[in-house]
Copies of this chain bind each other. A is one copy, B any other.
Amino acid sequence: MKKTPWTLDPERFFDPDPAQRRIARTLYDSVAGLPLVCPHGHVDLRLFSDPDFRFGNPAELLIIPDHYVTRMLYSQGVPLEALGVPRLDGGPVETDPRQIWQTFADNFYLFRGTPSGAWLAAELVDLFGVREKLNSDTAQAVYDQIEDCLARPEYRPRPLFDRFNIEVLCTTDPATDTLPHHRAIRESGWHGVILPTFRPDAVVNLDTAGWRGNIDLLSEVSGVEVVSYASFVQALEQRRGYFKELGAPATDHAAVLADTEPLDDDEAEAIFARALAGRMLPGDPQRFTAHMLSEMARMSVEDGLVMQLHVGSMRNHNDIVFQRFGLDKGCDIPRTSDFVYGLRPLLNRYGNDPRLRLILFTLDETTYARELAPLAGHYPAVRLGPPWWFHDSLNGIARYLDQMTETAGLQNLAGFNDDTRAYPSIPARHDLWRRACANWVAGLIVRGIVDEEDAAAMVHDLAYGLAKRAYRLG
């Protein structure tokens, strides 16, 4: 069977109508070359702190750590062991990267029409120069091609940072992290801008596994002996200051619910004391987390760190997979969220204060038009984070823009996050966002809703300006 070379459609993700498509292409071309602003993500810093870091083999790079990939194969009956995902008990898993890659290629058709499929195709074609569509037959040749690339110096993380045209890349770091890799990168004299983000979940959420140890670590790194709620707050403030000194623009908080009801000091002290003593009452963790979200907003008002809030993931839905493989294996499932009543205490205290910047993320799209857009279209503090996780897709972006902007306006959006561990996928993710946005704005032009002057400004903001301003990045 004759093969046509595997290519990416230069007008991919645009609507088919010729008028809209022509405008979308023009708008996209105007922003395709802008630097990437990456204010929220999870790239491993060791890629950059060691100037000579080299990626491992193709399976280690693209499959084993990517739970978007492994979950899909698992859902169709491929054991995670066959994909080389390490077991917590050290039990046997596939170790031959070529076999893992073959299994992946055999099942690559599962990703048809998915964002993972689009990102993977863009990585293979654009980054690694693959010219044959990935399938069972081409698997090993594609593996060879990627392996060859990875051996070359220009495929090390630092040169790729320039090739990817990244202006700033933020990581997500525990409150107890002393940020040695960030320090090392700074001290190395390398020009790449990589900034930390303060994520205190593991000390703030009292039911975190290993919480007590995290508190000891917090005492150690902050120099504040955490023996009470008051000293806990002091230690957190010390850490925020430390992160800020190292350039952190923001904090990040994950919560199942958006509740923010504050406690009075006595209650907070009592709960914290019970937690230290290992004698928590039912409901203590939830109430304390809610309180701490309000408290974190108070600190943001004072120190100017942008506050990100990711709401609604029910983590580790699958006990068996969690027990065997641990966190982040594709079994976190979204649930409904309420922002109206949940956020009200926080917003009534700080939502009118221009010093607070609160960026909201949801996995419950029903809150877009009903709750989030009206909140962002009123409170000066609120901005709307981009479609998150499962919703960072062509349809997800269209739903987000259609449901958010009519009520909130474009200026209350926070631009794009790639939110990824998968460093090589960053350009593909931003590209999909930029194309989807260009197409969406082109849709406004062809419907006579905005003119070309407005459209150009909107696309530029979506691709670049909104993220920089939302995160106060210069």
Report which A residues bind B (CB closer than 8 A): 8-9, 11-17, 19-20, 71-72, 74-77, 109-115, 118, 133, 314, 317-321, 330-336, 338, 340-341, 344, 347-348, 351-352, 354, 363-366, 369-371, 373-380, 382, 390-391, 393-396, 402-403, 405-412, 443-444, 446-451, 454, 457-458
Complex Cα distance, B284 from A42, in Å, reads 47
A318 and B340 contact, Cβ closer than 8 Å, known pairs A109-B457, A110-B409, A410-B112: no
Given contacts A109-B411, A320-B352, A332-B374, 12 further A-B pairs with CB under 8 A are A72-B409, A109-B457, A112-B450, A112-B454, A114-B406, A114-B407, A317-B344, A318-B378, A333-B375, A334-B374, A365-B366, A393-B406
Q: List 7 A-B contacts (CB under 8 A).
A: A15-B447, A110-B410, A111-B409, A113-B458, A317-B340, A320-B352, A334-B374
* A446 contacts B16, C-beta separation under 8 Å: yes
Q: A113-B458, A318-B352, A320-B352 are in contact. Are A448 and B8 (CB under 8 A)?
A: yes
Cα distance A407–B75 in the bound complex, in angstroms? 11
Pairwise interchain contact A403-B395, C-beta atoms closer than 8 A = yes
- CA A396 to CA B320, docked complex, whole Å: 35
- Copies of this protein chain in the complex: 3
Q: Contact partner of A75 among B19, B318, B409, B450, CB < 8 A?
A: B409
Let me know if B110 and A411 touch, CB within 8 A.
Answer: yes
Q: A72-B377, A380-B75 are in contact. Are A370 and B336 (CB under 8 A)?
A: yes
Check if B390 sits within 8 Å of A374, measured CB to CB.
yes
CA–CA, A364 to B114, complex, Å?
Answer: 23
Q: Which residues of B contact A458 (CB under 8 A)?
A: 112-113
Contacts of A373 in B (CB 8 A): 390
Given contacts A111-B409, A330-B377, A407-B114, contact A449 B13 (CB under 8 A): yes
B114–A405 CB distance below 8 A: yes
Residues from chain B with a CB closer than 8 A to the CB of A115 are 406
Does A12 contact B318, Cβ atoms closer than 8 Å? no
Distance in angstroms from A94 CB to nearest chain B CB is 18
The answer to whether A394 and B449 touch across the interface, beta carbons within 8 angstroms, is: yes
Across-interface contacts of A112 in B (CB, < 8 A): 409-410, 450, 454, 457-458
Partner of A20, one of B16, B74, B378, B409: B16
Q: How far is the CA of A56 from the CA of B91 in the complex (A)?
A: 66
> CB distance A444 to B12 under 8 Å?
no
Indicate if the CB atoms of A352 and B113 lie closer than 8 Å.
Answer: no
Residues in B whose Cβ lies below 8 Å from that of A369: 365, 390-391, 396
